Structure 1
């Protein structure tokens, strides 16, 4: 006798109010969404990145302004807020880099198993968060 298993739910059209609460996004899907979010964040903050780069290399006076942005702040934003924005940029760059390399590797190797997707996605998350914490500790002066 064969055992009849309970049919798994199929989500074809997710309803924002009923299905999203119970839908479990796979880890690979989360990494893919965060890859898009990190790319959008880097694009959105591109003028700030260009301003930081310009201030850091133009002259000694502008480098002083660059350094003061992290301690005294910019315009109405205090220094800790500038550091948080830079920390978000660090995370977005690292995550986008690692997730992009993961996507390229998956395209080249054709390793499309569920298990490998889960392990590679977890590696991307751990690596990007760990390096962000290390660089964030340096940014906030913990070492």
Structure 2
């Protein structure tokens, strides 16, 4: 018998989110996956709490539409809406990526990393375009 069998085995404990954020370099595909889940949760929670009540109030009458328009003109509200816009766009783009991966297209490591980069690029570019429109650039 060798001495290596008598040595105590290393113990690996569960790691926390702060260790993942600060100590580990996640690949781009992992970041896209995590943000896909986070954006889905954001949309799921905000749908009954923010989006449906805003829509219901805006279609009730012209006066309620004017009140919602005045409320949405607040910069803090616009930032919240911008976060929801990003969440939707990222979730949509990443969802298309996962549908393509389900077809077994781009499954190798290099193409998976490239498609994750495309998801980030497209979703952020579209967020900038919609954000400029939201903040009145045109």
Q: Quickly name the TM-score band, shorter chain normalised.
A: 0.7 to 0.9
Deviant stretches of 4+, over 4 Å = none
Q: Distance in 2 between matches of 1:59 and 1:18?
A: 48
Report the CA distance shift for 1:67/1:122 in structure 2 as closer, same or farther (over 3 A): same
Structure 1: 5+ residue runs without aligned partners? 1-11, 72-78
- Answer yes or no: is 1:112 the counterpart of 2:107: yes
Corresponding residue of 1:4: none
Report the CA distance shift for 1:60/1:123 in structure 2 as closer, same or farther (over 3 A): same
Q: Distance in 1 between matches of 2:43 and 2:62?
A: 27
What is the TM-score normalised by the length of structure 1? 0.79
After superposition, the C-alpha distances for 1:3-43 in whole angstroms (9 at most, x for unaligned) are: xxxxxxxxx76634996333210100000000011011111
Corresponding residue of 1:23: 24
Structure 2: 5+ residue runs without aligned partners? 1-11
Which residue of 57, 68, 71 corresponds with 2:70?
A: 68
Report the CA distance shift for 1:118/1:83 in structure 2 as closer, same or farther (over 3 A): same
Q: Distance in 1 between matches of 2:17 and 2:99?
A: 35
- Please report how far the alpha carbon of residue 61 of structure 1 lies from its aligned counterpart in structure 2 after TM superposition: 1.2
Corresponding residue of 1:90: 85
- Please report how far the alpha carbon of residue 65 of structure 1 lies from its aligned counterpart in structure 2 after TM superposition: 1.3
Report the CA distance shift for 1:18/1:70 in structure 2 as closer, same or farther (over 3 A): closer
RMSD: 2.0
